[in-house]
């Protein structure tokens, strides 16, 4: 692309074909780029245009199925959308190795979503706090009125909290509306509630209402999973010990905890994306939760059972929906929810937590034994082969040469391809 201006008046109202025309011009008339965008697969052009702004196409991400998963006694196939090799293999592997102990056992704190209302400019914040808490029933009635359908579904305002923040810009009162949003992530419902009650809170307290938006630190919406891996299934007591030491590293060091949690999110984000949920919301929530308590730490915890086996637990905020956002309008997300056979946000959150735990087990085991490169790079070898220009049957042949040589790099891939082509 050249550095021609990015100011494109009319781009938003142009048709997708017209936008592609502009893009092709920018790419020097590169028709190949255009044809890639023209094939949208199962996602209709019109749908793409309604979902986002200035749409030109779709970015296809591979979708796979994690096998061997048993969650709360239910066998299931879990759809995962990810661009990274070995992520799905790791879940399949981990899930297989804990089947003998019943797979994953999960729980869920409830679909409680927090909306925040920021109130500024108060000289007597404590008085304002008590005023608001004393009128909880009126606030509940206002929220119910905003979304009567949610109340009918068994949701609605569950709790009211008023926090005082001492900031560089002075004291602030922050009101939390804790709302049961049932099977929705609930952003839109709680944001509307926050916007509705804010002017009333301002009137009661004399405050200036400012931000009114949900919090992505969804710590009332925790999903938990536990599983036990028999020592014999994972290489014996020495591997259990090594994995525990690896987990302790994450407990003690935020540099390691960030990578540990990235691995967990490899699994979680892949399920979130496959089901049309908001990956950014889930990631923000997970990392904020990991930092609660002062030091950033791991989302999973590992211990040795009395029998000498390895037990893992995960606790993570999962604001997921099976209605709302893109979940109901994206045909692939709908298919993925059907494959999962989930009928509630709760079921989806429980499964997703289990996948996060499985992912962490897989990474920890690899790291504590062979190292990550052996399994991960063996699967990544095909990507390297494609990167260096292998096509058709050449891809597996170059990948096999890379695995056999033990160095999965582009330079080695180029050499293997040249050799294969008789160069």
Ligand X SMILES: CC(C)(COP(=O)([O-])OP(=O)([O-])OC[C@H]1O[C@@H](n2cnc3c(N)ncnc32)[C@H](O)[C@@H]1OP(=O)([O-])[O-])[C@@H](O)C(=O)NCCC(=O)NCCSC(=O)C[C@@](C)(O)CC(=O)[O-]
Inter-CA distances, 191 with 39, 176, 322, Å: 36, 11, 19
Query: How far, in Å, CA of 26 to CA of 314, rounded?
Result: 47
Two tokens, residue 59? 């970015």
The entry of ligand NDP, ligand X, none near residue 321 (CB within 5 to 8 angstroms by kind) is ligand NDP
Asked if 154 contacts 182 with a C-beta cutoff of 8 angstroms, the reply is yes
The entry of ligand NDP, ligand X, none near residue 224 (CB within 5 to 8 angstroms by kind) is none
Catalytic residue among 330, 376, 412, 415: 376
The entry of ligand X, ligand NDP, none near residue 260 (CB within 5 to 8 angstroms by kind) is ligand X
Q: Does 118 bind ligand NDP (CB under 6 A)?
A: no
Query: How far, in Å, CA of 236 to CA of 223, rounded?
Result: 30
Q: Does 89 bind ligand X (CB under 6 A)?
A: yes
Catalytic residue among 72, 84, 219, 251: 84
CB-nearer residue toward ligand NDP: 189 or 351: 189
Asked if 66 contacts 80 with a C-beta cutoff of 8 angstroms, the reply is yes
DSSP notation for 353-396: HHHHHHHHHHHHHHHHTT-HHHHHHHHHHHHHHHHTT--THHHH
Q: Does 180 bind ligand NDP (CB under 6 A)?
A: no
Catalytic residue among 180, 183, 278, 412: 278
In the complex, the smallest distance separating the C-beta of residue 84 from ligand X, rounded to whole angstroms, is 6
Q: Which residues, in sequence order, are CB contacts of 18 under 8 Å at separation 6+?
A: none
Element (H, E) at 74: strand 74-81
Inter-CA distances, 68 with 72, 88, 347, Å: 13, 11, 17
User: Coil, strand or helix: which one is 145?
Assistant: helix
Please tell me the count of residues contacting ligand X according to CB under 6 A: 22
* Residue ranges in 195-214 that form contacts with ligand NDP under rule CB under 6 A: 214
Q: Does 263 bind ligand X (CB under 6 A)?
A: yes
Q: Does 359 bind ligand NDP (CB under 6 A)?
A: no
Q: Integer distance in angstroms from the first to the last C-alpha of the chain?
A: 34
CB-nearer residue toward ligand NDP: 179 or 377: 179
Using CB under 6 A, pick the residue from 125, 285, 362, 413 that binds ligand X. 362
Query: How far, in Å, CA of 58 to CA of 48, rounded?
Result: 8
Q: Does 69 bind ligand X (CB under 6 A)?
A: no
| Active-site residue flag, 105 | no
| Active-site residue flag, 419 | no
Q: Does 321 bind ligand X (CB under 6 A)?
A: no
Query: How far, in Å, CA of 254 to CA of 295, rounded?
Result: 7
* Residue ranges in 260-319 that form contacts with ligand NDP under rule CB under 6 A: 278, 281
Query: How far, in Å, CA of 143 to CA of 302, rounded?
Result: 41
CB-nearer residue toward ligand NDP: 175 or 214: 214
Q: Does 323 bind ligand NDP (CB under 6 A)?
A: yes
CA angle 286, 301, 375 (to 5 degrees): 85
Q: Does 150 bind ligand NDP (CB under 6 A)?
A: yes
Stretch touching ligand X by CB under 6 A, among 112-120, 227-235, 358-366, 385-393: 358-366
| Active-site residue flag, 84 | yes
* Residue ranges in 49-68 that form contacts with ligand X under rule CB under 6 A: 68
In the complex, the smallest distance separating the C-beta of residue 266 from ligand X, rounded to whole angstroms, is 5
Q: Does 346 bind ligand NDP (CB under 6 A)?
A: no
Using CB under 6 A, pick the residue from 85, 106, 147, 350 that binds ligand NDP. 147
Counting Cβ atoms within 10 Å, is residue 153 exposed (0-12), middle (13-18) or buried (19+)?
middle
Query: How far, in Å, CA of 181 to CA of 333, rounded?
Result: 20
Q: Does 372 bind ligand X (CB under 6 A)?
A: yes
Inter-CA distances, 310 with 227, 240, 301, Å: 8, 6, 11
CB-nearer residue toward ligand NDP: 79 or 324: 324
In the complex, the smallest distance separating the C-beta of residue 283 from ligand NDP, rounded to whole angstroms, is 10
The residues binding ligand X (CB under 6 A) are 68, 84, 86-87, 89-90, 92-93, 96, 259-260, 262-263, 266, 362-363, 366-367, 372, 375-376, 379
The residues binding ligand NDP (CB under 6 A) are 147, 149-150, 153, 181-189, 214, 216, 278, 281, 321, 323-325
Residues labelled as active-site residues? 84, 262, 278, 376
């Amino acid at each position: 692309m050249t550095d021609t201006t990015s100011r494109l008046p009319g781009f938003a109202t142009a048709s997708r074909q017209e936008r592609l025309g502009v893009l092709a011009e920018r790419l020097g008339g590169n028709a190949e780029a255009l044809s890639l965008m023209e094939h949208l697969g199962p996602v209709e052009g019109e749908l793409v245009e309604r979902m986002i702004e200035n749409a030109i196409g779709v970015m296809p991400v591979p979708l796979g199925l994690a096998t061997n998963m048993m969650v709360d006694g239910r066998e299931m196939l879990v759809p995962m959308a990810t661009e990274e090799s070995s992520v799905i293999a790791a879940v399949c592997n981990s899930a297989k190795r804990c089947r003998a102990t019943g797979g994953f056992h999960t729980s869920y704190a409830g679909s409680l979503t927090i909306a925040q209302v920021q109130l500024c400019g108060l000289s007597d914040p404590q008085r304002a706090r008590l005023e608001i808490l004393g009128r909880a029933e009126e606030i509940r009635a206002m929220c119910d009125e905003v979304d009567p359908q949610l109340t009918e579904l068994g949701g609605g305002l569950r709790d009211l909290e008023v926090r005082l923040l001492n900031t560089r810009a002075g004291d602030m009162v922050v009101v939390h509306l804790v709302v049961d949003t049932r099977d929705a992530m609930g952003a839109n419902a709680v944001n509307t509630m926050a916007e509705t009650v804010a002017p009333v809170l301002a009137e009661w307290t004399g405050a200036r209402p400012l931000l009114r938006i949900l919090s992505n630190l969804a710590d009332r919406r925790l999903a938990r999973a536990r599983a036990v891996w028999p020592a014999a299934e994972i290489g014996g007591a020495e591997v259990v010990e090594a994995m525990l030491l690896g987990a302790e590293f994450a407990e003690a060091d935020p540099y390691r905890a960030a990578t540990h949690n990235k691995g967990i999110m490899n699994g979680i984000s892949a399920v979130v994306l496959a089901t049309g949920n908001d990956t950014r919301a889930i990631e923000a929530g997970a990392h904020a939760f990991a930092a609660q308590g002062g030091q950033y730490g791991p989302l999973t915890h590992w211990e040795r059972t009395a029998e000498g086996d390895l037990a893992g637990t995960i606790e993570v905020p999962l604001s997921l929906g099976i209605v709302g956002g893109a979940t109901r309008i994206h045909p692939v997300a709908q298919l993925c929810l059907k494959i999962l056979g989930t009928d509630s946000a709760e079921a989806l959150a429980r499964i997703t937590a289990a996948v996060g735990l499985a992912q962490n087990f897989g990474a920890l085991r690899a790291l504590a034994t062979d190292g990550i490169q052996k399994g991960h790079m063996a699967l990544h070898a095909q990507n390297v082969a494609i990167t260096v220009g292998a096509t058709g049957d050449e891809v597996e042949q170059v990948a096999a040469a890379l695995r056999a040589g033990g160095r999965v790099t582009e330079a080695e891939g180029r050499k293997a391809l040249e050799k294969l082509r008789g160069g």
